Structure 1
Amino acid sequence: MELKPSAHRDTFARDHLPPPDQWPELLFDLPGVRYPDRLNCGAELLDTTVERFGPDRPAFVDGTGEIWSYGELRARVDRIAHVLTSDLGVVPGNRVLLRGPTTPHLAACWLAVMKAGAVAVTVLAAQRPLELAGICETARIRHALCDIRAVDDLVKAEVPELRICTYGGEGPEDLLSRSASHPEVYEAVATSADDVALIAFTSGTTGRPKGCMHFHRDVLAIADTFSEHVLKPRPEDLFAGSPPLGFTFGLGGLVIFPMRAGASALLLEQSGPRQLPEAIERHRVSVLFTAPTAYRAMLDGLDSHDLSSLRRCVSAGENLPEAVWTAWHERTGIPIINGIGATELLHIFISAADEAIRPGTTGVPVPGFQARVVGADGLPVPDGEPGLLAVRGPTGCRYLADERQREYVRDGWNMTGDTYVREPDGWFRYVARADDMIISAGYNIAGPEVEDALLRHPDVLEAAVVGRPDEERGQVVVAYAVLREGARRDAQAVASLREFVKAGIAPYKCPREIVFLDALPRTATGKLQRFRLRNAEAERAEAERAETDTGRSGADTGRTTSPSAHPLE
């Protein structure tokens, strides 16, 4: 498609979009995702919301209970935008790195970057100097707004010519001190609807992160598809959740969706499973965004907290096991809205809510999106057969100068890397990541199915299943499990778990080995890094081949390995 004239003076982002023939086909059939040629998503989320609902409605709440109204938020955002353009010399199209814990100040910085017509690159507070240096090099970043508490690693990254402006500190150079002398009104840059608004880097579950470029219209499209038609927020809702704003799941769930609906968001610096129930009770949260592992971890503490204010719970980031969905529903009465999204498409594109939810399935394409299951040849496979999930809609993959664009987009479809089954009535059921399928002695075994069986055991908090190379079977199933405190971690526990799994699924899917760990390897956003487990098993298989005198080949075994002794370390 032909791009509209850009408002960017720094054209780096547009210059490094993939060639047009490598773009996915974009769909604008849904009336709500047809936008004018000139569009600034920051102005739409903030200024238009103030016009619709008034300036006194609460926008953000921090962990102390301090409330920022929409009017106060707009004044702060506009002052920061003045600092960006007048003091720091940011011009439309410049990339601005944002770093800090989840706070209203970080959200205000993001909105200011939008209104200034720059490109936001929000990184995770957990990322280290080497990672930060790589992101800055890839995106050619020369400006950064950083929480004073998170600045040390950014300084250690030693990014050439990077100008860092901190906030939350003292002195006249602090962003908040600078902004106090500027006007409360800033006229948003009249960006094109298809000017790049943000570059989101993938979380690294499969290796080297990729920069995903999204337009101003994309930011609104995720609110006008999933949020509008599936989540259905209300202006009186209070959103909260665990994903950071550097993770597009968090950016959508904690900033874009509530603001588009005139609702408010509780932005917590500490938002793990231990903190969330207390925060929900204290602030009367009604909409919760978090990952399956957090829902599982919160189950033990539900009896001591009042969660009656919740009306919507959303899960994404990784597959939601049916066992977790069922346990949460039985304890709270709230059906979790499961969804699959991707950084490449910005947010959720398959989901279901309310009476449409079917535990154990993801759902149907969100209005505005299409999905199908295809074979290696790119052609649809019959319903009921597993294949690769292909998706298209109003958003899609545009990697920043990355040769992997050709792998992700094929024949106009975004290939998500997930194995799915489409049921005859159109529902989509998750099987595994494409590289998580285990082929053992001719059987196709989906790792997540085995994980779900393990998670049904009351002692298992987390589970990850991978294949280990095996000369006789091709691969054997190996499970990694995190157990409840006080649970046995010996050979008897291994035998008990294996028998439990065999009672729930076909015996050939049962793990040949079970490894107990204190924690599973995860990204900073909480996604499981199965590739690290696969790599560890491949190294172990190679070592065993070199030690042919061990006599262990083909035996059913259990390992009770401490993290310090495990090859992941």
Structure 2
Amino acid sequence: MSQHNMVDYDKTYAEFKWEKPGYFNFARDVIDKWAQDPCKLAMLWVDDEGNEVRKTFFDFSRASKRAANVLREQGVKQGDVVVVILPRLIEWWEINLACLRLGAVISPGTTQLTAKDIKYRLETAEAVCVITDNDNAPKVDEVVGECPTVKSRIIVGEPRQGWLDYREAVAGASDDFTTVNTRSDDNAILYFTSGTTGYPKMTVHTHASYPIGHIVTGKYWLDLRPDDLHWNLSDTGWAKAAWSSFYGPWNMGAAIFVHHTSRFSPKKTLELLQKYPITTLCGAPTNYRMIVLEDLSQYKFPTLRHCVGAGEPLNPEVIEIWKEATGLIIRDGYGQTETVLLCGSFPCIEPRFGSMGKPSPGFDVQVIDEEGNILPPNTEGDVAVRVKPERPVGLFKEYWRNPEKTASVYRGDWYLTGDRAYRDEDGYFWFVGRADDVILAAGYRIGPFEVESALLEHPAVVESAVVSSPDEIRGEVVKAFVVLAPGYQPSDDLVKELQEHVKKITAPYKYPRKVEFVESLPKTISGKIRRVELREREWAGKRR
């Protein structure tokens, strides 16, 4: 097997230096460079009907120049916000590149947004242009009258009254476009990030920091090279798409595999992995949890060499099943919308199942206390990134137009991720939970993830979410919401069995004193379990 991009973690970490150019544009400085080889594959796109499209970097270079001309004709100027709500259509990638070329700020959204969500985004970001498909255009039309800044609506799909037809306009546009020489600190990407409370905040990334920061993601964690075909299962609407479907792979010249579908099917995923020469795979834990319920012995993946998971910690049980079936270890990665990869189980380090791995090259990640002191090993605290004296590349610029919120995530020399973890003696990080998900039961601090992982090891459990629940005696206790596997029925006996099972696997005090069986769990658009919703339901009418 060919050599990994990182062979010696300590050496790479010690020697790593960030590039900090004064001007940078990903479309010009990365995509156009790969496009110098007109045959170099950038994407293999398939849909559920069996259609296949291959696109080269040259194709994307040319199409994005045409699209940039179309946007300019529509009155989009450098610094303007363009809201893009599209499924996994090839145009999503073209439009991303077109906005970068033009110096416009792209704000991606998922197709699951409601009309009310869309109105909030268009208004708050003062967007001048919105680009979407036929399924979502009616939602935009419902609210656009109340969004005075929007002067252009562009549709990718069937023509629609009052909308510019993207495909027709691009077909007739010139591919002569001089990419704007964007400064490194110019705004480039605006994500709406949902917190556990309140409305989404606007996270802004710049032209150089984010794409260059994702060199670490693509090179060291995804372990990509120019001859790889990388498949990321994520939706286009959240930051993971930038990590693993855009900057990460294309920085490295790898081609992206895209499956355009409206719903995730574990069976179809396994069939595609078997059929196409996919070498690397990235999925959310939810995807892997569903995949391992299939009969994996029926499939062979001759080209697959590397798998990663991100979004929340991956349960050790799932990693084991996948490893037995494929011989491959799913490598965890940790970061957030505000960052690139901060920690990872890099291919060259000994994996510890359930751990977030070690800090990425270029980042000083530590576990700190309330005063900003670094804590000793095996002591839980706040996960933080050192930003002084030198700020690493790959961190967001600010929460746009929200200086109070921006100031609140810094403590002394540190940026606070809002996550709780501990570091072991060997430098591996172990996730405990969001700072606000931790359960305090009878004086013990209990991270929900550990209890959820223990429950998952029981054959009856497909998925679980663990939150605090009010209790007369203990103040709060651990409650588990459990989705059962096919063939299992809810019963008091099963509750007792699951409780005993957790006691055996984790410390006895962590077992769920309450268990509720549910059909499904509330999730964010990006597939993370919304524990906050379950917790609020439990505590409704009670003071915490």
TM > 0.5: yes
1:268 is aligned to 259
Question: What are the equivalent positions in structure 2 for 1:35-114 lying under 5 Å apart?
Answer: 35-51=20-36, 54-63=37-46, 64-85=51-72, 87-114=73-100
Q: Does the CA-based 8 Å contact 1:476-1:512 persist in structure 2? A: yes
Does 2:392 align with 1:399? Answer: no
**1:183 alignment partner, one of 174, 184, 189:** 174
- Aligned partners of 2:211 and 2:246: how far apart in 1? 11
**What displacement does 1:267 show?**
2.0
Q: What secondary structure, in the 3-state scheme, does the structure 2 residue paired with 1:406 have?
A: helix
Higher RCO (CA-CA < 8 Å; seq separation 6+): 1
Match of 2:414 in 1: 413
Q: Are 1:168 and 2:153 matched, yes or no?
A: no
Question: Distance in 2 between the 1:241 and 1:461 partners?
Answer: 22
- Counterparts of 1:514-529 in structure 2, within 5 Å, are 514-529=515-530
Distance 1:249 1:173 in 2: 29
**How far 1:195 sits from its partner (Å)?**
0.5
Shift of 1:193: 1.0
Match of 1:476, SS state, is: strand
**Preserved CA contact (<8 Å) 1:470 1:541:** no
State the shift of 1:309 in Å: 2.1
Map of 2:6 onto structure 1: none
CA contact (8 A) 2:310 2:333 kept: yes
**2:210–2:393: 8 Å Cα contact kept in structure 1?**
no
Q: Do the aligned residues in 1 keep the contact of 2:234 with 2:241 (CA within 8 Å)?
A: yes
The alpha-carbon deviation at position 300 of structure 1 amounts to: 2.3
Mapped contact 1:468–1:541 kept (Cα < 8 A): no
More helix by share: 1
Counterpart for residue 8 of structure 2: none
% identity of equivalent residues: 31
CA deviation after TM superposition for structure 1 residue 31, in Å: 5.9
Equivalent residues of 1:203, 1:525 under 8 A apart = no
Q: Aligned equivalents of 2:250 and 2:41: distance in 1? A: 10
Task: Select 1:249's aligned residue among 223, 231, 240.
Answer: 240
Q: Aligned-pair RMSD on alpha carbons? A: 2.0
Identify which of 326, 344, 348 aligns with 1:351: 344
CA contact (8 A) 2:66 2:175 kept: yes
- 2: distance between equivalents of 1:399 and 1:383? 32
User: In 1, Cα distance between the equivalents of 2:334 and 2:314?
Assistant: 9
Please identify, of 510-519 and 174-183, the stretch whose mean Cα deviation from structure 2 is larger: 174-183
- How many aligned residue pairs are there? 512
The 1:165–1:116 alpha-carbon spacing in structure 2 relative to 1, beyond 3 Å, is: same
2:128 alignment partner in structure 1: 142
Any idea what SS the aligned residue of 2:516 has? strand
TM-aligned CA deviation for residue 44 of structure 1: 2.2
Matched, 1:199 2:190: yes
User: Contact 1:436 / 1:446 at 8 angstroms: preserved in 2?
Assistant: yes
**Which of 305, 311, 328 is the equivalent residue of 1:311?**
305
Equivalents in 2 of 1:204, 1:156: separation in Å?
26
Q: Judging changes above 3 Å, is the alpha-carbon distance between structure 1 residues 260 and 153 closer, same or farther for their aligned structure 2 residues?
A: same
Cα distance in 2, alignment partners of residues 112 and 31 from structure 1: 31
User: Does the 8 A contact of 1:273 with 1:295 survive in 2?
Assistant: no
Displacement of 1:282 after TM fit? 2.4
Aligned residue for 1:81, secondary structure, equals helix
Between 1:31-40 and 1:288-297, the stretch displaced more is 31-40
Q: Is the contact made by 1:450 and 1:510 (CA closer than 8 Å) also made in structure 2?
A: yes
Q: 1:286 to 1:34 in 2, by over 3 A?
A: same
Is 1:468–1:476's contact at 8 Å kept on the other side of the alignment?
yes
User: Counterparts of 2:196 and 2:39 in 1: how far apart (Å)?
Assistant: 42
Equivalent in 317, 321, 328 of residue 334 of structure 1: 328
TM-score (norm 1): 0.86
Q: 2:5 aligns to what?
A: none
Deviations 1:149-207 (A, max 9, x none): 32121222323342211122248941111111222232110010111111011144444
Distance across 2 between alignment mates of 1:534 and 1:326? 30
Amino acid at match of 1:166: I
Unaligned residue ranges in structure 2 (runs of 5+): 1-12, 387-391
Post-superposition Cα deviations, 1:341-374, rounded to whole Å, max 9, x if no partner, equal: 11111x3210122241221211111001111111
Q: TM-score, normalised by structure 2?
A: 0.90
Which stretch of the first structure deviates more once superposed, 513-522 or 432-441?
432-441
Uncovered stretches (5+) of structure 1, i.e. residues with no partner:
1-27, 546-569
Shift of 1:89: 1.1
Query: C-alpha displacement at 1:216, in angstroms?
Result: 0.8
Following TM superposition, by how much is the alpha carbon of 1:148 offset from its aligned partner in structure 2, in angstroms? 2.8
SS in 2 for 1:527: coil
